[in-house]
Amino acid sequence: MANIVSVENVRASYGGTVALDGVSLEIEEGSSFALLGPNGAGKTTLMNILCTLRAPQDGRVLVAGHDVVRAPRLARRSIGVVFQTSSLDDRLTARENLNFHGLVHGLAPKRRRFHIERVLELVGLQDWQDEIVRTFSGGMRRRLEIARALMHEPRILFLDEPTVGLDAQTRQQIWEYLDQLRTERKITILTTTHYIEEVEDADVVCIIDRGKIIAQGSPEALKAEHGRRWVQADVTHAEARKAILAQFPEARPLGARSIVAPAESIEADYLQTEPFKDKLTEIRYREPTLESVFLSLTGRDLRDRTDGEREAQMAEGRRGGRR
């Protein structure tokens, strides 16, 4: 099948900081593509370029065959976007938000009514359609945004961190809608996330770090290629940590308190004997997952998930405080 998104050697920077450093990728029509990386890796910048909000400094981006710099309005017709933070008008009702979207996409009254009913049913918000969005919970808002992005029947759906700040049950529900869409409507889905468990079902996972793509492939292929079984030991005692690092050349520090090493290079049993025994607080095996793929490739953990949640909460608090 043809590629519906094509990114060639894209560069972007904010002031002096490089956000994207020569990124290239292709997305096949009808596939599910996940962009995985820690906060600040350049995911949102790439997303903004793909949905024409920002022009790349260098390189070429084609979305549904249209150059996003030369023909942004044509590219926009084919895309639906769900942003990381809410872009709903929370003084309007759910239905008014959808109707607005239909109008700015130039849909005729009949088609607007038809599509409003369709997407409301899809996300199960029919009973709430005439309520003001301000009264909605985070999960309901997110569902409404997904519904809105689908109003004009886009060929590609861009979702930037669609589940940040939501509880596990809502996250599950949102992924169910997305899977349903993909199978029923053959829509191409591009998501960014730093929740590793959410990309396991994607067709292609692209790992991005510090503005560069460091690996790309199906989750299985990535795990087979880069995934290793790791041993992680949390050592509070600095001396002991040094001693372990000195003894096992393949071991490396992780964060301030832990050490990781490929499972075959270290004897977990040994760590539990003298002199380390009392200095370990925890020792565990990490099976080959995409998380350990990230660890293998960067030597760092995708550990900023808690940061992401905290940021989302703070943003929520700021919004709440203003009104």
Instruction: Please tell me the distance from the alpha carbon of residue 278 to that of residue 276, in angstroms, as a whole number.
Output: 6
Calculate the CA 97 to chain-centre distance. 25
Contact pick of 5, 81, 140, 290 for another protein (by CB under 8 A): 81
CB 89 within 8 A of CB 82: no
Among 77, 185, 212, 300, binds another protein (CB under 8 A): 77
Q: Does residue 27 interact with another protein by CB under 8 A? A: no
Q: Which is nearer to another protein, 48 or 193 (CB)?
A: 48
Range 304-313 contact pairs with CB under 8 angstroms and sequence separation of 24 or more: 304/38, 304/39, 304/194, 305/194, 305/195, 307/39, 308/39, 308/161, 308/164, 308/194, 309/164, 309/165, 311/39, 312/164, 312/165, 313/165
The one-letter amino acid code at 231 reads V
164 counts as binding another protein under rule CB under 8 A: no
To the nearest whole angstrom, how small is the minimum distance from the Cβ of residue 68 to another protein?
A: 11
Residue 45 lies near another protein (rule: CB under 8 A): no
In whole angstroms, the minimum distance from the beta carbon of 92 to another protein comes to 6
Q: Does 135 bind another protein (CB under 8 A)?
A: no
Restricted to residues 142-161, the positions that interact with another protein (CB under 8 A) are 148
195 binds another protein (CB under 8 A): no
Pick 164 or 235: Cβ nearer another protein: 164
Binding flag, residue 228, another protein (CB under 8 A):
no
Nearer to another protein among residue 52 and residue 292 (C-beta): 52
Q: What is the largest CA-CA distance in the chain?
A: 77
Our finding on whether 110 is near another protein (CB under 8 A) is no
Taking contact as CB under 8 A, which single stretch among the options 32-40, 75-83, 213-221, 260-268 is the one that binds another protein?
75-83
Contact segment (CB under 8 A) with another protein among 94-102, 123-131, 171-179, 180-188 equals 94-102
**317: contact with another protein by CB under 8 A:** no
DSSP collapsed to 3 states, 241-303: HHHHHHHCCCCEEECCCEEEEEHHHCCHHHHCCCCCHHHEEEEEEECCCHHHHHHHHHCCCCC
Residue 73 C-beta: closest distance to another protein, Å: 5
Q: Radius of gyration (Cα) for the chain, nearest Å?
A: 22
By CB under 8 A, the count of residues binding another protein is 32
Mark the segment that binds another protein (CB under 8 A) among 5-13, 70-78, 113-121, 282-290. 70-78
**Which one among 14, 73, 130, 169 touches another protein, defined by CB under 8 A?**
73
Piece in contact with another protein (CB under 8 A), picked from 5-13, 90-98, 253-261, 292-300: 90-98
Q: Is 94 helix (H, G, I), strand (E, B) or coil?
A: helix
E strands, the chain, are 3-14, 17-28, 32-36, 58-63, 66-67, 79-82, 156-160, 188-193, 204-209, 212-217, 230-235, 252-254, 258-262, 280-286
Binding site for another protein (CB under 8 A): 51-53, 73-74, 76-77, 79, 81, 83, 85-92, 96, 99-108, 148, 319, 322
